[in-house]
Amino acid sequence: MQALRRLMQEYKELTTNPVEGIAAGPINEENFFEWEAFIQGPEGTPYENGLFRATFSFPRDYPLSPPVMRFSTPMYHPNIYPDGRVCISILHAPGDDPNGYELSSERWSPVQSVEKILISVLSMMAEPNVESPANVDAAKMYRTDRAAYAQHVLRTVRSSLSL
């Protein structure tokens, strides 16, 4: 019940005080544990003018555990796995990083929210973390040939708009 109340509260907050370029909420109001989000590509990035759909799957112990976020729109990004799963610190389980890469303060905690996740994703789209890539090919291209990377992303933006 605590998870459901929290998700309903977050949904209300997102609809009352929307974040520019983001819309999110339950796919079906009978199941608050599955959400969809629409994200506009941030200005000044290769994703600009794109509209990207993502889903959230919330665990029953939310907010103690993080949701899984997955883009359903094809994305080419160093921090997005080829299957669409988003790989950023804020979505990693709380506690110490077994690989010693992230500080525990960078990982999920119950004070995080859907809004904070989406803002982090916008930031990630603008500034990928190529030191810990989920998509090695995208990270390599981003590091070695930014123009080719931007062209590849432009194709995904056009695809997101069905052009």
Would you please indicate which residues are annotated as catalytic (active-site) residues? 87
Q: What angle do CA 84, 119, 106 make, to 5 degrees?
A: 85
| E strand map for 2-155 | 22-28, 31-40, 51-57, 68-71
**How far is it, in rounded angstroms, from Cα 158 to Cα 17?**
29
E strand or H helix that includes residue 30: none
